[in-house]
């Protein structure tokens, strides 16, 4: 019991190291040490002890990184967010306790490999499960460091998580190195550790695709409180937006695109929303992209993005936040929708079915046919990098993230979301526009770097976004490298487990 108590304190320290890696603290090298320390803990102890230690590790890390979840002004939303965090921590700990202890403590190399497999299994659960929350991905903890941005350009966010696990397992083995094959294993661990430490700092080698255009972008950041922003029937905000645009108007050729944040337009049908956005475009003397709330043909609310220059397509949010924007399985379980949490003035949204690209003319004055294609991403959708990759492969040129991160009384949510958008840009090799209601709006180039923004007024930001893009490893292969590592590791450990059981059975029989 005393030994477990000491190791529990160690997990609190390791969790702290992992927690300070997250934005906005961003002491990311400490995060690598935290994961290595966790790997060492998993290599020791029985199943129940590993569960407790993993629970302490993740809860400490996420308490530092995501304590802002408890400060939602709606008590039910804060409570469900904290419960969800605890549930994911228990899921991670359960996976580790089952998979990570499949081999006895004496087989530390197998235990470290099993701990790595546990991490990869959890990554699959938070990104592909029915309650997907990719913001908990270990790889996101290391952005916006140059190390993470470069790794993501090779293998995406899931690849960064795998790299973190491989680094931690290698470092843990060098600390523990024992056993029959210690020389070979140590050599492999040293090589892996050095490669993962230094290779990501080298250039990606991806070719740069130049586009003879710097996109002139105007971001409207209203700086409204969450309470004011949630008044979805306030049609007066349209006139206030138009007045703001008139007061800061430049010549038409000075702005290619004006971006308003998520749910900027009041709730109404598609026809009325298009009328509003056209009036705003006339006031801005540029095409306008804005979020809004649309009443669908089924009389359900949809979280949408419209572009004034595209009279055909618009985007309805496909990835809804579980319990905040919809209740999972509510279509199949009568009465389950009662657990919905009011979000942005709406108790629940109807999801969109497909992702739509929006067409932006380069020169709307001369009405040129050729232009660029925008990949609209509404808040939570920007965390699903595979979806953005699909949109870009279909012909998209730039991703536009519109969001409202001000629901929590903390700047950490805004900083983390911006860091995640930097990872999105670096992984896909395409620029990103990040527009918010009340802070941390940005222009991000294809390398994940922030571009300068000029504050025309407290609510109007302008800047130039280079449209150059690069072909990254993630755009070529997607998450195939991640699943390759996962499949190979699962197959090897499964074979080793059966061999171990066979040997144990033969010894017992003898």
Q: What does the DSSP assignment read for 256-271?
A: SEEE--TT-EEEE-HH
Q: What 8-state DSSP symbol labels residue 136?
A: G
- Average pLDDT over every residue of 230-248: 91
Q: Are 132 and 198 in the same domain?
A: yes
- Average pLDDT over every residue of 125-133: 91
The 3-state secondary structure of 67-93 reads HHHHHCCCHHHHHHHHHHHHHHHHHHH
Residue 239 has pLDDT above 70, yes or no: yes
CA atoms within 13 A on the CB side of 354: 6
Over residues 15-32, the pLDDT tens digits come to 999 999 999 999 999 999
| pLDDT confidence tier of residue 207, bands split at 50, 70 and 90 | low
Q: Are 368 and 487 in the same domain?
A: no
Q: Are 196 and 317 in the same domain?
A: no
Q: Which run of H or of E encompasses 419? A: helix 412-428
Cis peptide bond prior to 144, omega within 30° of 0: yes
Greatest CA separation for the chain = 89
Q: Which residues contact 276 (CB under 8 A, 6 or more apart)?
A: 238, 265, 266, 268, 292
Residue 66 has pLDDT above 60, yes or no: yes
Q: Give the separation between CA 430 and CA 421, rounded to whole angstroms.
A: 11
Q: Which residues contact 464 (CB under 8 A, 6 or more apart)?
A: 214, 215, 216, 217, 443, 451, 452
Q: Are 92 and 134 in the same domain?
A: yes
Q: Are 363 and 440 in the same domain?
A: yes
By mean pLDDT, which of 13-22, 145-154, 319-328 is the weakest?
A: 319-328
What is the per-residue pLDDT for 322? 80
Closest among 189, 158, 165 to 100, alpha carbons compared: 165
- Length of the chain counted residue by residue: 510
Residue 510 has pLDDT above 90, yes or no: no
Instruction: Classify residue 24: in a domain, yes or no.
Output: yes
Domain extent, residue 142, equals: 2-202+479-509
Q: Are 408 and 492 in the same domain?
A: no
442 bridge partner residues: 434
Burial status of residue 241 (CB atoms within 10 A of its CB: 0-12, 13-18, 19 or more): buried
Residue 168 has pLDDT above 70, yes or no: yes
Specify the number of domains making up the chain.
2
| Pairing, β 460-466 against β 469-470 | unpaired
Instruction: Classify residue 290: in a domain, yes or no.
Output: yes
Q: Give the separation between CA 110 and CA 492, rounded to whole angstroms.
A: 10
Q: Are 305 and 432 in the same domain?
A: yes
Contact status, residue 472 vs residue 429, Cβ threshold 8 Å: yes
Q: Are 391 and 243 in the same domain?
A: yes
Contact status, residue 178 vs residue 108, Cβ threshold 8 Å: yes
Find the CATH number of the domain harbouring 282: 3.60.110.10
Residue 367 has pLDDT above 50, yes or no: no
Q: Are 123 and 34 in the same domain?
A: yes
Instruction: Classify residue 337: in a domain, yes or no.
Output: no
């Amino acid at each position: 019991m005393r030994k477990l108590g000491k190791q529990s304190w160690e997990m609190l320290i390791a969790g702290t190291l992992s927690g300070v890696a997250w934005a906005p603290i961003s002491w990311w090298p400490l995060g690598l040490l935290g994961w290595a320390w966790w790997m060492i803990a998993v290599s020791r102890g029985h199943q129940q002890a590993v569960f407790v230690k993993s629970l302490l590790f993740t809860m400490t890390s996420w308490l530092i990184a995501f304590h802002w979840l408890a400060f939602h002004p709606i008590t039910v939303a804060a409570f469900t967010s904290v419960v969800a965090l605890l549930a994911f921590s228990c899921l991670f700990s359960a996976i580790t306790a089952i998979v990570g202890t499949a081999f006895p403590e004496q087989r530390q190399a197998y235990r470290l490999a099993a701990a790595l497999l546990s991490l990869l299994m959890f990554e699959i659960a938070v990104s592909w499960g029915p309650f997907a929350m990719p913001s908990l991905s270990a790889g996101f903890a290391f952005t916006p460091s140059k190390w993470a941005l470069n790794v993501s350009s090779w293998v995406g966010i899931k690849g960064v998580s795998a790299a973190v696990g491989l680094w931690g397992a290698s470092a843990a083995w060098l600390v523990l190195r024992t056993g029959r094959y210690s020389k070979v294993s140590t050599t492999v661990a040293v090589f892996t550790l050095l490669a993962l430490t230094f290779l990501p700092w080298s250039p990606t080698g991806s070719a740069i695709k130049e586009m003879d255009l710097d996109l002139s972008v105007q971001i409207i950041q209203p700086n409204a409180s969450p309470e004011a922003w949630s008044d979805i029937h306030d049609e007066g905000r349209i006139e206030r937006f138009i007045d703001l645009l008139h007061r800061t108007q430049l010549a038409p050729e000075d702005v290619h695109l004006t971006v308003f944040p998520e749910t900027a337009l009041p709730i109404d049908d598609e026809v009325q929303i298009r009328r509003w956005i056209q009036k705003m475009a006339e006031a801005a003397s540029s095409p306008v992209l804005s979020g809004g709330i649309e009443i669908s043909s089924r009389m359900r609310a949809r979280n949408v993005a419209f572009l004034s220059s595209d009279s055909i397509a618009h985007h309805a949010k496909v990835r809804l936040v579980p319990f905040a924007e919809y209740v999972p399985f509510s279509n199949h379980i009568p009465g389950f929708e009662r657990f919905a949490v009011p979000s942005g003035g709406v108790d629940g949204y109807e999801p969109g079915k497909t992702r739509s690209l929006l067409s932006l003319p380069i020169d709307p004055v001369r009405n040129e046919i050729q232009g660029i294609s925008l990949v609209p991403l509404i808040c939570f959708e920007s965390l699903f990098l595979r979806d953005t990759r699909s949109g870009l492969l279909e012909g998209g040129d730039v991703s536009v993230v519109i969001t409202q991160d001000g629901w929590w009384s903390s700047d950490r949510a805004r900083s983390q979301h911006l860091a995640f958008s930097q990872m999105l840009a670096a992984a896909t090799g395409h620029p990103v526009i990040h527009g918010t209601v009340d802070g941390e709006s940005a222009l991000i180039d294809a390398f994940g770097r922030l571009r300068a923004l000029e504050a025309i007024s407290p609510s109007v930001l302008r800047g130039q976004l280079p449209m150059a893009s690069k072909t990254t490893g993630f755009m070529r292969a997607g998450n195939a490298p991640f699943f390759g590592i996962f499949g190979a590791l699962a197959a090897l450990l499964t074979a080793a487990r059966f061999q171990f059981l066979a040997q144990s059975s033969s010894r017992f029989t003898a």
